Structure 1
C-alpha cells in the first residue's frame, strides 16, 4: 500500500510510519499546503487544514491513502489550548478525522499567538532552540520531554489507521 504524507515535517513523517508499521507500506511525503492560516486558530480550521493536506496528498501522490496532520490552537474559557487533528483520505470514501492531545499553553505564549504570531517561531524563541516544530514540538517542551511531537502525532495517526481498518475491513495485526 502506498501512503502519501501531506508534509515534509520529519515528526509527522515518522508518526505516520509508526502508525502503519504493522502493514506492508511504501511512504512518500509531499509538501501539501493546508489551505488555512499559518496558525490555525480553531478546531474547525485545524481540521480543515488536515483534510486539505490529506486530499491534496492523495490527489498528487498517486497512492491509496493520503494523510494530513495539522497542529493548531483553540480558545476556551480556560485559556488557549494546543490542539492537533489528522485526516485520512482514500478513494471512494469521505475523509476520516481524529483529534489528539490538548493542553493549556502558558499565557506568555498564548498572548503572542493571539497577537498574530505562529506557534513554531514563538516556541523557538520561548525555548531558545531552533526548529522545535520539527523536533519535540511545543508538547515536548511543556511536558518536559515526557511526550514529544512524534508521540502526539503517532497517537493521532493510529486513530486514523484504526478507523480506516475498521471501515475498509482490512485485516491487520493491530
Structure 2
C-alpha cells in the first residue's frame, strides 16, 4: 500500500490528489491521509513564485509532520497581476524521498469585480463568494467552476496538474 499525504484538509485538493494518483498508477493501492500544514506564504499568494513556494512548503511541511509516507502533495492557488488584469492558477508539488514533481495548472483571468475585491485585501475565494453570492466556493467548484459553468470545476482543474506533477514518478528512468 502506497501512503500519500495531502497537505490540506480541503476536500477538493484531497480528491484531486486521489484522482491524479489513481489515473497515473491504476494498478496500485493507495492510502490517502490529509494533514493541515502551513504554506509559509500569504493566505492569498500574489505571484507565480510565491504560489510555487507555498505548494513546495506544504509538501515539505507535511513530510516533517508525517515521516513514513511515500509521497507528500502540496497544492497552492495563486494570482498574479498581468497588464491591467489578474490571472489565477495553482501549483502542485509532489515530493518523495529523493524527487520533486512539479506542475502548474492552466491560467484563467479573473473578472474585474473580483479583482477589485482582491485589491482591497480579499482572498480569491472570498471575493468569488461575494460577487457570485456563494458560500465557501473554494471547497467546492471554485472560481474556475463558477466561471465555466462547471465544465471545469476546481477538482478537475487541479487533477490535471497533479497528473503532470507525477510525470517524474511514472518515468523514473528519465528523471
* 3-state SS of paired residue (1:20): helix
The one of 77, 83, 89 aligned to 1:71: 77
Instruction: Provide structure 1 residue ranges, at least 5 long, that are not aligned to the other structure.
Output: 170-174
Is there any run of 5+ residues in structure 2 with no aligned partner, and where? none
Which ranges of 4 or more aligned residues in structure 1 deviate by more than 2 Å?
Answer: none
Matched, 1:147 2:115: no
User: TM-score, normalising length from structure 2?
Assistant: 0.91
Residue of structure 1 equivalent to 2:163 = 158
Q: Distance in 2 between matches of 1:31 and 1:85?
A: 17
Equivalent runs, 1:42-53 vs 2, <5 Å: 42-53=47-58
Maintained 8 Å contact 1:36/1:49: yes
Residue 17 of structure 2 is matched in structure 1 by 16
Q: CA RMSD in A?
A: 1.3
Give the Å deviation of 1:168: 6.2
Please give the secondary structure, in 1, of the residue aligned with 2:8: coil
Q: TM-score, normalised by structure 1?
A: 0.92
- Counterpart in 1 of 2:110? 105
Asked if the contact 2:105/2:161 (under 8 Å) is kept, the reply is yes
Inter-CA distance 168–40: structure 2 relative to 1 (3 Å threshold):
farther
Aligned to 2:135: 130
**Number of equivalenced pairs:** 168
